[in-house]
């Protein structure tokens, strides 16, 4: 994993993993279930701490029951220990990508707000009423942990505005579709379609060369 460019931290006990996750922000946590620890407990306690890391389990005893348990607690993948390093690298890369996409979404939401304040998770917990008032007035409040965004508290008005921006404009799509169909029904379009299906192989080659010259 290190050779693949990942920055690693390694611990052997659950309490050490929880302590480390409380001190630093991680994209992925890989848990060896063959070690003397409770993987389910670890995942749940990580979530309780507010850790946003994706969790991957590796074990020498995979089963359908284990896979179901993993899905229930939010583990992204269960790998057998016989899997090669490339498989683990792909899974970890996916977990990193998911976390980075989450952060990108949070940044997009905060950028769209008229004004945005950032508060540590501890302050948000201890003074939630004040944070809520700020979100209602200013549009959004980013809640951070170790300087990394973990959540955004967004007002209903701001959320409605965000959703409206990204909803597909059905009228515009319908109009675009109708215009495309109308163009296909013209005499010129029909003649072009007939010539396409009756063209000789050489004609396709000439058209490709002409197209390449036109766009080259």
Question: Any idea which residue has 């899997």 for tokens?
Answer: 83
**Structural contact between residues 54 and 27, judged by C-beta atoms closer than 8 angstroms:** yes
**Whether residue 90 is found in the same domain as residue 129:** no
Residue 2 lies in a domain: no
The better pLDDT of the pair 18, 192 is held by 18
Residue 158 lies in a domain: yes
Is the pLDDT reported for residue 114 higher than 50?
no
- For residue range 45-62, list pLDDT tens digits in order: 888 777 778 888 888 888
**Whether residue 129 is found in the same domain as residue 198:** no
**Whether residue 184 is found in the same domain as residue 159:** no
Residue 51 lies in a domain: yes
Four-residue CA torsion sign, 107, 113, 118, 121: negative
Here the CATH number for the domain that contains residue 145 is 3.40.1620.10
Residue 36's φ and ψ, nearest 5 degrees, are -75, 70
Proportion of the chain above pLDDT 90, given as a percent: 0
Range of the domain at 154: 113-164
**Whether residue 93 is found in the same domain as residue 69:** yes
Residue 1 lies in a domain: no
- For residue range 20-46, list pLDDT tens digits in order: 888 887 888 888 888 777 788 888 888
For residue 29, give the nearest of 57, 3, 7 by alpha carbon.
57
User: For the purposes of burial, counting CB atoms within 10 Å of the CB of 148, is it exposed (0-12), middle (13-18) or buried (19 or more)?
Assistant: middle
Q: Kindly state the greatest CA–CA separation across the chain.
A: 76
Task: Compute the mean pLDDT over every residue in the chain, rounded to the nearest whole number.
Answer: 75
**Whether residue 153 is found in the same domain as residue 181:** no
**Whether residue 149 is found in the same domain as residue 207:** no
Here the CATH number for the domain that contains residue 40 is 3.40.50.2300
Residue 153 lies in a domain: yes
For 71-97, give one letter per residue: b (16+ CB within 10 A) or e. eebebbbbbeeeeeeeebeebbeebbe
Most confident of 16-25, 105-114, 161-170: 16-25
CB atoms within 10 A of CB 46: 23
Q: CA-CA distance, 144 to 150, in Å (whole number)?
A: 5
User: For the purposes of burial, counting CB atoms within 10 Å of the CB of 30, is it exposed (0-12), middle (13-18) or buried (19 or more)?
Assistant: buried
Q: CA-CA distance, 140 to 155, in Å (whole number)?
A: 6
């Amino acid at each position: 994993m290190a050779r693949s460019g990942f920055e690693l931290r390694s611990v052997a006990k659950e309490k050490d993993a929880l302590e480390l996750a409380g001190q630093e922000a991680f994209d992925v946590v890989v848990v060896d279930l063959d070690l003397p620890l409770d993987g389910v407990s670890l995942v749940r306690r990580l979530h309780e701490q507010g850790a946003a890391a994706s969790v991957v389990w590796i074990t020498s005893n995979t089963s359908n029951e284990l896979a179901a348990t993993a899905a229930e607690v939010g583990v992204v993948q269960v790998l057998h220990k016989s899997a090669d390093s490339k498989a683990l690298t792909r899974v970890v890369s996916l977990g990193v990508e998911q976390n980075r996409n989450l952060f990108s979404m949070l940044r997009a939401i905060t950028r769209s707000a008229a004004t945005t304040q950032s508060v540590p998770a501890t302050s948000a917990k201890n003074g939630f009423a004040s944070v809520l008032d700020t979100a209602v007035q200013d549009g959004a409040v980013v809640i951070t942990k170790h300087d990394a965004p973990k959540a955004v508290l967004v007002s209903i008005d701001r959320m409605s505005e965000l959703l409206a921006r990204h909803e597909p404009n059905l009228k515009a799509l319908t109009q675009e579709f109708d215009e495309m169909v109308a163009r296909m029904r013209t005499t010129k379009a029909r003649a072009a379609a007939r010539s396409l299906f009756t063209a000789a192989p050489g004609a396709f080659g000439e058209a490709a060369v002409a197209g390449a010259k036109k766009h080259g």
